[in-house]
Amino acid sequence: MKKFFYLLMAAAAMALYACNNDDEKSKTNTVTINVLIDNEKISDAVDVTLTSKSSSTSYVATTTGGVATFSVTAGIYEAIATMYKESAIYNGNNSSVTVTDGGANAFNLDMVKSTTSQVIIKELYFGGCMDNAGAKHFLNDAYVTLYNNSPVEADASNYAFGMVYPANSNTNSNYRKDGELTYTDYLPCWNAVWWFQSGTQVKIPAYSQIVIAMKGAIDNTATYSNSVDLSNADFAMYDPEVFTFPAAYPAPSSKIPSSHYLKTYLYGMATAWPLSNSSPAFVVFSPEGTTAEAFVKTASNIETTGSKAYACAKVPVSWVMDGVEVYNATVLDKSNKRLLSSLDAGYVKFTNKLGYTVYRNVNKEATEALQENVGKLVYDYAGGTADVENGSTDPSGIDAEASIAKGAHIIFKDTNNSTNDFHQRKVASIKK
């Protein structure tokens, strides 16, 4: 009987401990986010999104008197906001919102003026796919699509392409200190950058695109049915004098003229351009007063952090035309920003190996406002991955590719905030 009594008491104690633990876990804290421009609280009503870095759960609150208020449990969060003011875009990102039980929990979100570009990144395919047996990951296929988001012809002849260090969103970086990026007026583009050959005219007609094969500029579907056919790409990143890894750089399809091979220069160490297959920070830039080649071949423009393996070109922020920040969906809690808020305040979650792409969202209002689009827009878009874990879709509901096939002109969203501007697409748009 005495033994039974002790067991009963122990069970009660355990139950009480469990209840106390649940109470601690469910305890909420008031968190205030002060939204600032030039150290002054904004007067506009702006939506602020607060996302848990451990669970990816998001909360949205609208500012009152420049302050957004939340009630959340302790943890590490990321605060993001985008606002329009006097025909300009302002973006803010604070990835170090550490909420503690009983703490002050007041944080600032500094909004930085951002600019949009005529030519944007429409789609980025980099995560690879599974082989025909579903057993191995094939990753020697990758491409980027540039799109002219305007009604007049664009000239991209001077454009160059880079990836911001570190390659993966969850990798530790010497460019972060106390949770903040240490650079403000440049981006550390790692290893190498690519550019169009001198003398090659790269013109993009209104509301049109070019596809650039970054790896495997051939019909990869001939061997891997889940992959993509890049034999019809407009351009190819192919410079065998620099990058010698044949699996990533087979001789391009004969349909791609050699004048459309991009050039590169290796200031780091690699046999292939190490663009992340899970979470790159990818940028397009246009040098001013020089060329990409001359810039990266000037030693003073390259910095290392102890080893040539970490060499980065210091690309001025003012040169950047567009960029996209990708976080690895499986390690969101360890992921951090690499692009500055003035260039991109958010990020898009991505799951690799499944043939998914990062695809631009449609600007619904602007696209519907074009008179030439009457009767040509296709709705009920179902190409996103909203039905899978960590998936997303285009909130506009417009099927851009189907609409373009009917002759519509699409204006894509461009707020310099990857959270707003991109979603994860199930199948590459060039895969018919």
pLDDT tens digit sequence for 19-60: 444 444 568 999 999 999 999 999 989 999 999 988 878 899
C-beta of residue 200 within 8 angstroms of C-beta of residue 256: no
How far apart CA 240 and CA 162 sit, in angstroms, is: 18
Per-chain mean pLDDT for the chain? 92
Of 257, 256, 237, give the one whose Cα is nearest residue 245.
237
Per-residue model confidence as pLDDT tens digits over 129-174: 999 999 999 999 999 999 999 999 999 999 999 999 999 999 999 9
Listed in sequence order, the residues at least 6 apart from 280 whose beta carbon sits closer than 8 Å to its beta carbon are: 124, 126, 163, 167, 168, 326
Per-residue model confidence as pLDDT tens digits over 85-125: 765 778 898 988 999 999 999 999 999 887 778 999 999 99
Q: Cα–Cα–Cα angle for 400, 402, 406, nearest 5°?
A: 110
- Rounded to an integer, the average pLDDT of 224-233 is 98
Per-residue model confidence as pLDDT tens digits over 172-191: 999 999 889 999 999 999 99
pLDDT at residue number 4 = 41
Residue 13: pLDDT band (50, 70, 90) is very low
How far apart CA 427 and CA 363 sit, in angstroms, is: 21
Global confidence as pTM:
0.85
CB-count burial class (<10 Å; 0-12, 13-18, 19+) for 160: buried
Helix (H, G, I), strand (E, B) or coil at 220: helix
The alpha carbon of 145 is separated from its chain's Cα centroid by a whole number of angstroms, namely 14
- Rounded to an integer, the average pLDDT of 390-409 is 98
